Amino acid sequence: MNKLEKFINQNLPKVLAAETASSLGDRSKYIGASDIGSCLRKAYLGKVQHVEHDIAQHIVFQRGHIAEELVAKMLHGTPYKTQVEVTGKAENGYDIKAHIDFVVDFGAECVVVEAKSTSIPVEDPYDSWILQVQMQMGLLKSQCDGKSVRGYVIAIDVNTGWFKTFEVLPNKVLFEIAMKNANILAEALKKNEEPEPEIQLYCSKCPFKGTCSAISNLECETDLPKDVVAAIMRLASKSKLEKEIKEEKKLIQGFFEAVGLKQAKVRDKIVTLMTMRGKKAVDIDLLKNVAPDIYSKVECYDRGYSFIKVV
């Protein structure tokens, strides 16, 4: 690591922590709208334990801010305010504070806009996004002088440029679910007791997965042979490398295809763009359409296959 990298490693986490503290305050002292949409155990532990992130994670987290900056440009020219704080109380008196990314005030109507960064295209908004916006709209409604309120989520993949907007209309039942989750979290914080975990798509990235009963007790490490545990740990340490290899191959393939190159010699390596002829196959959907009688006679399920996934 050179001097600059050492400096960045020390400086960036401090700068980002100061930035978060100045825009959101001490997040361990209140319940935010993003806390109540998914696993409450993760939200709870995020407030009561200090989690150290490595520099790569800090950089990845910044994609959310980049998405927000893009949305600010998308909304340029509209009467919007950013980081609008709306407040409420849980049943036990615990503070609830939602920081809404954007509120566009059209006079008779306020429109909440929440920016979300994603690394894959999303067909439908995640439930956690919807609950977050429901809570924001519900709290805003009580604080915006009788104006009507509705919302949007803008999901952006900052790597590919993909984006999509989802309209979110106020829904009393969903707002009540959001408030119920806020009350569970508030009670957990008051009593110092972990709420129940709830499996999420992002469990593999959760800093508390190692002690989580929802995933780590599926089969105990002590029940497995030592060699198997060692192989799992080796595999886990290589999964990041596997992703990097895929990215490198994609980049090289893209270049070869763009310039029409089939083969190149780089030092003692020969790099070849391999083209495999597609295997003959039957188009099942087409067969179903053009020859339903034959399809119904040959239809069967294959035996499926198994594979190992380490999260």
Total residues found in the chain within this entry: 311
Output the smallest distance, CB 57 to ligand SF4, in A.
Answer: 15
**In the complex with ligand SF4, which residue's Cβ is closer, 187 or 194?**
194
Output the smallest distance, CB 39 to ligand SF4, in A.
Answer: 3
**In the complex with ligand SF4, which residue's Cβ is closer, 39 or 185?**
39
**In the complex with ligand SF4, which residue's Cβ is closer, 86 or 212?**
212
Interface positions, 93-132, toward ligand SF4 (CB under 6 A)? none
**In the complex with ligand SF4, which residue's Cβ is closer, 214 or 287?**
214
**In the complex with ligand SF4, which residue's Cβ is closer, 38 or 156?**
38
Instruction: Give the residue among 94, 19, 27 at the shortest CA–CA distance from 61.
Output: 19
**In the complex with ligand SF4, which residue's Cβ is closer, 20 or 213?**
213
Interface positions, 151-190, toward ligand SF4 (CB under 6 A)? none
Output the smallest distance, CB 223 to ligand SF4, in A.
Answer: 20
Output the smallest distance, CB 199 to ligand SF4, in A.
Answer: 5
Output the smallest distance, CB 13 to ligand SF4, in A.
Answer: 22
Three-state SS string across the chain, please?
Answer: CCHHHHHHHHHHHHHHHHHHHHHHCCHHHCECHHHCCCCHHHHHHHHHCCCCCCHHHHHHHHHHHHHHHHHHHHCCCCCEEEEEEEEEECCCCCEEEEEEEEEEECCCEEEEEEEEECCCCCCCCCHHHHHHHHHHHHHHHCCCCCCEEEEEEEEECCCCCCEEEEEECCCHHHHHHHHHHHHHHHHHHHHCCCCCCCCCCCHHHCCCHHHCHHHHCCCCHHHCCHHHHHHHHHHHHHHHHHHHHHHHHHHHHHHHHHHCCCEEEECCEEEECCCCCCCCCCCHHHHHHHCHHHHHHHCCCCCCCCCCCCC
Q: How many residues bind ligand SF4 (CB under 6 A)?
A: 14
Output the smallest distance, CB 11 to ligand SF4, in A.
Answer: 29
**In the complex with ligand SF4, which residue's Cβ is closer, 138 or 197?**
197
Q: Which two three-digit tokens encode residue 85?
A: 């704080």
Residue span 28-67 as binding mask against ligand SF4, x where in contact by CB under 6 A, dash where not: -----------x-xx-------------------------
Interface positions, 187-246, toward ligand SF4 (CB under 6 A)? 197-200, 203, 206, 208-209, 212, 214-215
Which residues, including other chains, have CB under 8 Å from residue 276's CB and lie 6 or more apart? none
Output the smallest distance, CB 302 to ligand SF4, in A.
Answer: 32
Interacting residues with ligand SF4 (CB under 6 A):
39, 41-42, 197-200, 203, 206, 208-209, 212, 214-215
